[in-house]
Structure 1
Amino acid sequence: MATITQDMRYRLSLIKYADKFGVTKAAVKYKTNRQYIYRWKRRFDGSIESLRDLSRRPHSHPNQHTPQEIKLITDMRRRNPDAGLVVFWVKLMRRGYSRSIPGLYRFLKRQGIMAVHPPNPKYVPKPYQQMDRPGQRIQVDVKFVPSACLVNRQLIGERFFQYTAIDEYSRWRFVEAFEEHSTYSSALFLEHLVKAFPFPIECIQTDNGPEFTNRFTTHRDKPTLFQVHLEQHGIQHKLIRPFTPRHNGKVERSHRKDNERFYATHTFYSFEDFAKQLTVYNRRDYNNFPMRPLGWKTPNQVLRDYSASV
């Protein structure tokens, strides 16, 4: 049911007052002119709906589509039912159509002949491969330290890096601070990781950065220093799919947590200061922090339980 507006109630009251006391007195009381009252009295047929404002939309427009253009559009749409707006407009332009894209869009929308595209197929992730033992696969990545944490003026323009390794089985994490983002730093980090991790490492998974692999460089056939050290230790190197950081999700999530728990509340006056604070934070707040995926055990507890069971 249509809503009765305040203007409609006003006009009905005005007409009733004019019928009872005359048009002149009604014009004075309602502070309007006599022509306004006469116009609405002529339109009033006894129902309040007759006092509703009529549409002011014009019946035609000087720039509306011509019959020839309408026929061209409908014929083209019949032959190209799935063409998008821009592609459809280009096809029309090649046949003499001269309207703009917004004008074509409004016409297609008004006629209900817009192309309906089927939804894109949803990404179906592969089942995650659960690890059976510590060291079966370790995710490694590099985090750039936020420049806002460097408060010493002498550090302006300097960049610090956090190398991170996470064991997928136990979530045990090893981090180290570096001043350089290179394959040499990656190789040095690997040596320290092998010494720190209490179990043999079988596989290390990284992204496709040049600090790990030459896969997307001009020396793609030459192994990096990091890969040379992996081969020396008999460790398999697994590369994730390019531009898919979710495949290294555990280490990526730990970096997000670092922003919340560490970098948002700490500042560094030198590289030595940063390296010391990072080591203390990882020892206290990560490897000894209970985690839901581990049944609310800490990474260190998981490693101890595994050692006791073998």
Structure 2
Amino acid sequence: KEKSTYETKKFLENLEEMMGFPIHIVQVDNGHEFVNDNDKTSKESGFEKAAYNLGITIKRTRPYSPWQNGKIERSHREDGKVLYNRKVFTSEKDLINQVAKHERRYNSTAKISLKFKSPDEVVEEYFKNTSCYYEN
């Protein structure tokens, strides 16, 4: 997908429906796909306007402070090592399939930081303890 405020705005507008619970706050870096550069304009970006209209607070990280979003940075680094640096994709469809395979494998693997549970298990436990849980 394109990195633009239009694309991130569309994503944000559908996020609550996709997740099944209300979103109160999002933390973003100062990338142009989220916010406008304050040095160039005081206008809000499409993403910021959408967040305001949805009642979602935007928390911006400090510029040049990657440790404030370290989990995401680490995730990008690991994805790069495991997926992008090792593979040659023959088509966009192949890329999509390989990313999906990588996500399934990652989300079903136990992590020390999750007390030896997989991300899938943690999410399932979370939703079992909320009113939006249902069994298939």
Match of 1:229 among 50, 54, 57: 50
**Which consecutive unaligned segments of at least 5 residues does structure 2 have?**
131-136
Asked if the contact 1:210/1:217 (under 8 Å) is kept, the reply is no
Which of these two proteins has the greater Rg computed from alpha carbons? 1
2:127 partner amino acid: S
Match of 2:28 in 1: 206
* Superposed displacement of residue 225, structure 1: 0.9
**Which consecutive unaligned segments of at least 5 residues does structure 1 have?**
1-177
Asked if the contact 1:205/1:240 (under 8 Å) is kept, the reply is yes
Partner SS for 2:75 = helix
* Superposed displacement of residue 217, structure 1: 4.4
Match of 1:303 in 2: 123
The 1-side partners of 2:82 and 2:114 are apart by 20
* Superposed displacement of residue 301, structure 1: 1.4
Match of 1:80 in 2: none
The 2-side partners of 1:265 and 1:192 are apart by 33
Deviation digits for residues 41-83 of structure 1 (CA, Å, limit 9, x no counterpart): xxxxxxxxxxxxxxxxxxxxxxxxxxxxxxxxxxxxxxxxxxx
Q: 1:291 to 1:198 in 2, by over 3 A?
A: farther
- What TM-score do you get using the length of structure 2 for normalisation? 0.81
1:194 partner amino acid: E
Counting only pairs closer than 5 Å after superposition, residues 1-310 of structure 1 correspond to structure 2 as 178=1, 180-219=2-41, 221-282=42-103, 284-310=104-130
* Superposed displacement of residue 207, structure 1: 0.7
* Superposed displacement of residue 206, structure 1: 0.8
Deviation digits for residues 153-186 of structure 1 (CA, Å, limit 9, x no counterpart): xxxxxxxxxxxxxxxxxxxxxxxxx1x2211122
2:71 partner amino acid: K
Q: 1:249 to 1:298 in 2, by over 3 A?
A: same
* Superposed displacement of residue 192, structure 1: 4.6
- What TM-score do you get using the length of structure 1 for normalisation? 0.39
* Superposed displacement of residue 194, structure 1: 3.2
RMSD of the TM alignment (CA)? 2.0
Q: 1:228 to 1:280 in 2, by over 3 A?
A: farther
2:110 partner amino acid: P
1:227 partner amino acid: E
Q: 1:232 to 1:305 in 2, by over 3 A?
A: same
Q: 1:291 to 1:191 in 2, by over 3 A?
A: farther
Query: Which structure features the higher share of helix residues?
Result: 2
Q: 1:271 to 1:226 in 2, by over 3 A?
A: farther
